[in-house]
Chain A
């Protein structure tokens, strides 16, 4: 039940895109089409889970014992960048289908702030390893949910008669704000 709570809180109540406003660049950048947003979210789920696992282990077994907590930003960036490269090499050789499906989004994730944020938050919340894993899964699924929903809306908006001065990013920001308001409605659910 506690794990479910962590997952659900990360998934909906503290949705990383719509409530925390982290990783907005990719939220607006790749949500113009449904298939690009699906590609991006699959890459995020993949990288976020693995990188938060590695960074949790590094933090608790190397940085914390030596009292080098202040190094975590540099260390985590190193971990994420290295890991993305490694995964790219691995996928290219072993699972070319998945590699082609993720395409450009895999290297793009290196600079995605959501990945770094999750690695930090899992430590700030003092989660144990299992909890951290469930948390990062919840965040990445929440990311996917928000970006896919947003892509559906933006595909419709491309055809809608929007006034010229609202076309493009202005209407996208307004829509995101309305979606964010809707997600605020989850606050307080299950006493979370």
Chain B
């Protein structure tokens, strides 16, 4: 049932659970005496992490198709959340439906390793098709805004995220290596989010972008970069990179993730909302969780593809 994965994958996933176990001891055990550690938000966050990590681990360990279906489903949830947040026009209902249909198609290109189609389907074909379908609906008021916001969402939620999925196909038939790349990307990206949060809470004072997000501090950013760099260096064995290149990639990824986080914060500010949804208790919505991944995934995938495959 399971694909033949490199034992390092199993060990890495065991490592994730060890860290989660430690976090649970801190939050649920020590947190009973130290209120700052046992806050409701932190407890919810840790619980949500257990569920997310398990779903992700099962998807990776099952086989490549399961991983693709899992990531496609994440794209679907993200797009659904996005389309529920932004103003949409009633006339565009069928256009939105078409945008949803782009998800299975895009992941189909990934699954069939058709790189050329994968890379132009949304930026070219969907870019042309959606406004044509909108024209057929005949509503011109708010046309540009509707076309622009829809394609932006499709790019973020489907195109960007599907780059994470394409990591599975990069090395060709050797499934184990691709799973290692995906694992590396997701662990470093998500750990960077957590690290930025903690360094910011512990030492944060000066804000990086006061008009966009009050929670992003220089201490958080720099602590996050350092943590991600070290972690990426340690996890280099999952990838074809040597340790010092992985370290640099970890630092760069932390900056990219930070930017993704900021962009989603700006979108939320624009829409006057705090969280993108309530799916993941303690985290907010699915977009709150994948906002940095949608920035790190394309950059990491293209770096690896250009230099290693």
A and B pair up:
no
